[in-house]
Amino acid sequence: MSQIGKQVVDFEVQAFANNAFKTVKKEDVLGKWSIFFFYPADFTFVCPTELEDLANKYEEFKATGAEIYSVSTDTHFVHKAWHDTSDTIKKINYPMLADPTGVLARGFDVMIEEAGLAERGTFIVNPQGEIVAYEVVAGNVGRNADELLRRLKALQFVAEHPSEVCPAKWQEGQKTLEPSIDLVGVI
Protein backbone atom coordinates (compact mmCIF):
# COMPACT_ATOMS: atom_id res chain seq x y z
CA MET A 1 0.00 0.00 0.00
CA SER A 2 1.42 3.39 -0.97
CA GLN A 3 2.68 5.78 1.68
CA ILE A 4 2.44 8.82 -0.64
CA GLY A 5 0.19 11.47 0.88
CA LYS A 6 0.05 9.68 4.23
CA GLN A 7 0.24 11.99 7.23
CA VAL A 8 3.11 11.43 9.66
CA VAL A 9 1.88 9.66 12.79
CA ASP A 10 1.54 11.60 16.00
CA PHE A 11 4.71 10.94 18.00
CA GLU A 12 6.92 12.11 20.83
CA VAL A 13 10.36 10.51 21.09
CA GLN A 14 13.72 11.16 22.71
CA ALA A 15 16.68 12.19 20.58
CA PHE A 16 20.38 12.74 20.84
CA ALA A 17 21.49 15.95 19.09
CA ASN A 18 24.28 18.45 19.62
CA ASN A 19 25.64 16.44 22.54
CA ALA A 20 22.35 16.68 24.43
CA PHE A 21 19.11 14.78 24.88
CA LYS A 22 15.92 16.40 23.66
CA THR A 23 12.33 15.54 22.89
CA VAL A 24 11.11 15.61 19.27
CA LYS A 25 7.38 15.65 18.48
CA LYS A 26 5.29 15.71 15.35
CA GLU A 27 4.70 19.42 15.89
CA ASP A 28 8.46 19.96 15.53
CA VAL A 29 8.50 18.64 11.96
CA LEU A 30 5.44 20.52 10.70
CA GLY A 31 6.14 23.70 8.77
CA LYS A 32 9.39 22.51 7.19
CA TRP A 33 10.71 19.74 4.98
CA SER A 34 11.90 16.69 6.86
CA ILE A 35 13.87 13.55 6.06
CA PHE A 36 13.17 10.48 8.20
CA PHE A 37 16.11 8.15 7.67
CA PHE A 38 15.45 4.76 9.28
CA TYR A 39 18.26 2.28 9.78
CA PRO A 40 18.40 -1.09 11.58
CA ALA A 41 20.72 -0.45 14.53
CA ASP A 42 23.61 1.45 16.07
CA PHE A 43 27.04 -0.23 16.25
CA THR A 44 26.53 -2.05 12.94
CA PHE A 45 28.23 -2.07 9.54
CA VAL A 46 26.34 -0.41 6.67
CA CYS A 47 24.48 2.05 8.92
CA PRO A 48 27.47 4.21 9.90
CA THR A 49 28.50 4.60 6.25
CA GLU A 50 25.05 5.96 5.42
CA LEU A 51 24.87 8.22 8.45
CA GLU A 52 28.32 9.62 7.66
CA ASP A 53 27.24 10.25 4.06
CA LEU A 54 24.29 12.27 5.38
CA ALA A 55 26.51 14.07 7.90
CA ASN A 56 28.84 15.13 5.08
CA LYS A 57 25.87 16.65 3.19
CA TYR A 58 24.01 17.99 6.24
CA GLU A 59 24.78 21.66 5.53
CA GLU A 60 23.42 21.25 2.00
CA PHE A 61 20.21 19.70 3.36
CA LYS A 62 19.88 22.51 5.89
CA ALA A 63 20.39 25.08 3.12
CA THR A 64 17.18 23.76 1.49
CA GLY A 65 15.30 24.35 4.74
CA ALA A 66 15.08 20.63 5.53
CA GLU A 67 15.94 18.74 8.70
CA ILE A 68 17.30 15.21 8.78
CA TYR A 69 16.12 12.80 11.47
CA SER A 70 17.94 9.49 11.61
CA VAL A 71 15.82 6.85 13.34
CA SER A 72 16.54 3.44 14.83
CA THR A 73 14.89 1.38 17.55
CA ASP A 74 17.89 2.01 19.81
CA THR A 75 17.49 4.34 22.80
CA HIS A 76 18.88 7.86 22.95
CA PHE A 77 21.43 6.54 25.46
CA VAL A 78 22.75 4.08 22.87
CA HIS A 79 22.88 6.89 20.26
CA LYS A 80 25.03 8.92 22.67
CA ALA A 81 27.31 5.97 23.41
CA TRP A 82 27.78 5.34 19.69
CA HIS A 83 28.46 9.04 19.11
CA ASP A 84 31.02 9.06 21.92
CA THR A 85 32.91 5.98 20.70
CA SER A 86 32.84 6.24 16.90
CA ASP A 87 34.83 8.80 14.92
CA THR A 88 32.37 8.30 12.06
CA ILE A 89 29.28 8.97 14.17
CA LYS A 90 30.93 11.98 15.89
CA LYS A 91 30.47 13.81 12.56
CA ILE A 92 26.67 13.74 12.96
CA ASN A 93 24.99 17.03 13.86
CA TYR A 94 21.42 16.13 12.91
CA PRO A 95 19.01 14.65 15.49
CA MET A 96 19.25 10.90 16.06
CA LEU A 97 15.75 9.82 17.08
CA ALA A 98 15.28 6.96 19.52
CA ASP A 99 12.36 4.67 18.69
CA PRO A 100 12.59 1.76 21.18
CA THR A 101 8.79 1.34 21.25
CA GLY A 102 8.60 1.35 17.44
CA VAL A 103 6.02 4.14 17.22
CA LEU A 104 7.83 5.70 14.26
CA ALA A 105 8.95 2.46 12.60
CA ARG A 106 5.37 1.16 12.72
CA GLY A 107 3.92 4.53 11.74
CA PHE A 108 6.10 4.60 8.62
CA ASP A 109 5.50 0.85 8.08
CA VAL A 110 9.17 -0.17 8.24
CA MET A 111 9.18 -2.21 11.46
CA ILE A 112 10.65 -5.70 11.23
CA GLU A 113 8.46 -7.14 14.00
CA GLU A 114 10.35 -10.40 14.56
CA ALA A 115 13.65 -8.54 14.97
CA GLY A 116 12.46 -5.36 16.70
CA LEU A 117 14.42 -3.35 14.13
CA ALA A 118 13.60 -0.89 11.37
CA GLU A 119 14.05 -1.54 7.67
CA ARG A 120 16.40 0.75 5.77
CA GLY A 121 13.67 3.26 4.83
CA THR A 122 13.93 6.87 3.72
CA PHE A 123 10.97 9.26 3.78
CA ILE A 124 10.72 12.84 2.58
CA VAL A 125 7.94 14.71 4.38
CA ASN A 126 6.58 18.06 3.20
CA PRO A 127 5.83 21.00 5.54
CA GLN A 128 2.22 19.80 5.86
CA GLY A 129 3.44 16.55 7.40
CA GLU A 130 2.67 14.39 4.35
CA ILE A 131 4.99 11.75 2.91
CA VAL A 132 5.87 12.83 -0.64
CA ALA A 133 8.65 10.32 -1.40
CA TYR A 134 10.03 7.16 0.12
CA GLU A 135 12.17 4.14 -0.56
CA VAL A 136 12.90 1.00 1.39
CA VAL A 137 16.03 -0.97 0.60
CA ALA A 138 17.36 -4.35 1.66
CA GLY A 139 19.32 -4.25 4.87
CA ASN A 140 22.59 -5.13 3.17
CA VAL A 141 22.57 -2.17 0.72
CA GLY A 142 23.44 1.40 1.69
CA ARG A 143 21.73 4.54 0.37
CA ASN A 144 23.14 7.64 -1.34
CA ALA A 145 22.81 11.13 0.20
CA ASP A 146 23.47 12.81 -3.17
CA GLU A 147 20.40 11.18 -4.72
CA LEU A 148 18.31 11.95 -1.63
CA LEU A 149 19.31 15.62 -1.81
CA ARG A 150 18.53 15.73 -5.55
CA ARG A 151 15.11 14.18 -4.94
CA LEU A 152 14.38 16.62 -2.09
CA LYS A 153 15.23 19.62 -4.29
CA ALA A 154 13.02 18.28 -7.10
CA LEU A 155 10.10 17.82 -4.70
CA GLN A 156 10.59 21.31 -3.32
CA PHE A 157 10.72 22.72 -6.85
CA VAL A 158 7.46 21.11 -7.98
CA ALA A 159 5.80 22.14 -4.70
CA GLU A 160 6.67 25.74 -5.55
CA HIS A 161 5.90 25.35 -9.28
CA PRO A 162 2.84 23.07 -9.46
CA SER A 163 2.47 23.44 -13.23
CA GLU A 164 5.94 21.97 -13.86
CA VAL A 165 7.46 18.50 -13.48
CA CYS A 166 11.07 17.36 -13.13
CA PRO A 167 12.35 14.78 -15.63
CA ALA A 168 14.72 11.93 -14.76
CA LYS A 169 18.10 13.00 -13.41
CA TRP A 170 16.88 16.59 -13.02
CA GLN A 171 19.32 18.79 -11.14
CA GLU A 172 18.62 22.16 -9.59
CA GLY A 173 18.71 24.88 -12.26
CA GLN A 174 18.05 22.51 -15.15
CA LYS A 175 15.06 22.73 -17.47
CA THR A 176 11.78 21.26 -16.29
CA LEU A 177 8.73 20.22 -18.27
CA GLU A 178 5.27 21.77 -18.42
CA PRO A 179 2.83 18.93 -19.09
CA SER A 180 0.58 19.65 -22.05
CA ILE A 181 -0.99 17.89 -24.98
CA ASP A 182 1.88 19.23 -27.11
CA LEU A 183 4.34 16.95 -25.26
CA VAL A 184 2.32 13.74 -25.68
CA GLY A 185 4.29 11.38 -27.89
CA VAL A 186 7.09 13.93 -28.43
CA ILE A 187 9.29 12.90 -25.52
- Separation of first and last alpha carbons in the chain: 30
Length of the chain: 187
Selecting among 8, 47, 68, 111, the annotated active-site residue is 47
- Kindly report the number of other CB atoms within 10 A of residue 14's CB atom: 17
CA atoms of 94 and 133, how far apart (whole Å) = 20
47 tagged catalytic = yes
Going by C-alpha positions, the residue among 130, 123, 134, 42 that lies closest to residue 88 is 42
Is residue 129 within 8 Å of 26, Cβ to Cβ? yes
Q: Which residues are catalytic?
A: 47
